[in-house]
Amino acid sequence: MDQQQEHETPTASWWSNIISFFRAQASSKNAAHPDNHSTLKDTLVSRILPEDYEALYANLGYRFQNNALLRQALTHRSFMNESGHPDIEDNERMEFFGDSVLGFVICNFLYQHFPQYDEGDLSRIKSHVVSEPFLAVIARELELGTYLLLGKGEAASGGHEKNSLLSDCYEAVVASIYLDGGIEPAREFLLRCFQEKIVTLVEKQHILDHKSLFQERAQEIFRCTPRYKLREIIGPDHDKTFEVDVFIKHEIFSVGTGKNRKEAEQSAAKAALAKLNIRTGKVK
């Protein structure tokens, strides 16, 4: 029995200490102000309670062996500073670590699944999917903001919805999963979050700049820079359609349309890329 208690102490001590700390604060506050019915839940400035972890486990698709790691991943510096409790650690070190785990797993996935793209293309895709706005979207899907422990000031300023805090928290959660279970659970978690999104973005070519990519390919294959020329503008003033030709040397290679010239040029470049077999560099 004593061995079991010793094993459980590192997992339970952080939360037990923080509950005791804020319960004492709440009791003192209520004693000074009898009409104040502030609850421990309100004092924590967060909706996270021990029973809430079940919902979070379901969102993450992972059950922690050591809850202290998850609690630290959800603890913002403002909460640590306001609590003043020596056992409370913020998530900044985990954020640093999680960023590297995230980058490794995403790079490995891109390398294995998109052999037709070179280093420049893969870098553009990676930069997009590990960006702060992209990570914040995933964090919202997991409802991490609900569980993020913030100081009162940060919470009052809408910290639970800030992109920067959500993306940092997501990276910290990645680190906490790695530290709790190793690289395989972390990899599985990340691929559940990213794989479908990355494949959709690449297939629809929403990430890559078609003109830049086609220019790189044209210089490699044809030893020249593509030239774009407006062919015509069709339709009334309120609903114009621009048609653009893209030339390789002196011949039209592809045509694109759009609601403005820039969009039409991107469309023409996209059509040119579709005409090329990028894997071998041969024209279909």
CB contact at 8 A, 174 and 102: yes
pLDDT digits (tens, 9 = 90+) for 37-51: 344 444 444 445 666
Token code pair at residue 23: 């319960």
Q: Which of 99, 121, 154, 180 is catalytic?
A: 99
Token code pair at residue 186: 């972390």
Binding-site positions for Mg(2+): 95, 168, 171
88: closest CA among 98, 97, 79, 96?
79
Of 203, 226, 252, the residue that ends a domain is 203
Of 181, 203, 225, the residue that ends a domain is 203
Binding-site positions: 95, 168, 171
pLDDT digits (tens, 9 = 90+) for 4-26: 443 333 444 445 555 555 545 54
The answer to whether residues 26 and 87 belong to one domain is yes
The answer to whether residues 255 and 231 belong to one domain is yes
CB contact at 8 A, 175 and 73: yes
CA pair distance 263, 253, nearest whole angstrom: 17
CA pair distance 255, 266, nearest whole angstrom: 10
Q: Is the pLDDT of residue 2 over 90?
A: no
Whole-number pLDDT of residue 75: 92
The answer to whether residues 136 and 239 belong to one domain is no
pLDDT digits (tens, 9 = 90+) for 179-221: 999 999 999 999 999 999 999 888 776 666 788 888 888 988 9
The answer to whether residues 217 and 175 belong to one domain is no
Give the residue numbers spanning the domain of 116.
2-203
Phi, psi of 143 (to 5 degrees): 60, 35
The answer to whether residues 13 and 79 belong to one domain is yes
Q: Where are the beta strands (DSSP E) in the chain?
A: 227-234, 241-248, 251-258, 276-277, 282-283
Q: Indicate which CATH number applies to the domain containing 101.
A: 1.10.1520.10
- Identify whether 171 is a catalytic site residue: yes
Of 203, 233, 258, the residue that ends a domain is 203
SS3 breakdown of the chain: % helix, strand, coil, rounded to 5? 65, 10, 25
Q: Which of 90, 121, 154, 171 is catalytic?
A: 171
CB contact at 8 A, 79 and 149: yes
Count of structural domains within the chain: 2
The answer to whether residues 24 and 160 belong to one domain is yes
Strand partners of residue 69: none
Distances (CA, A) of 272 to 37, 184, 217, 225: 67, 40, 10, 13
- Identify whether 99 is a catalytic site residue: yes
Token code pair at residue 36: 């104040």
The answer to whether residues 61 and 114 belong to one domain is yes
The answer to whether residues 118 and 230 belong to one domain is no
Could you tell me the pLDDT band of residue 232, with boundaries at 50, 70 and 90? very high
Whole-number pLDDT of residue 274: 85
At 141 the three-state DSSP class reads: helix
Whole-number percent of the chain with pLDDT over 70:
77
CB contact at 8 A, 114 and 122: yes
Residue 159 DSSP class: G
The answer to whether residues 115 and 249 belong to one domain is no
The answer to whether residues 199 and 248 belong to one domain is no
The kind and range of the H/E element at 136 are helix 132-141
Pick the more confident residue, 257 or 50: 257
Distances (CA, A) of 244 to 60, 257, 265: 47, 6, 6
The answer to whether residues 174 and 250 belong to one domain is no
Q: Indicate which CATH number applies to the domain containing 267.
A: 3.30.160.20
62 sits in the region (left: phi over 0; alpha: psi -120 to 50; else beta) called beta
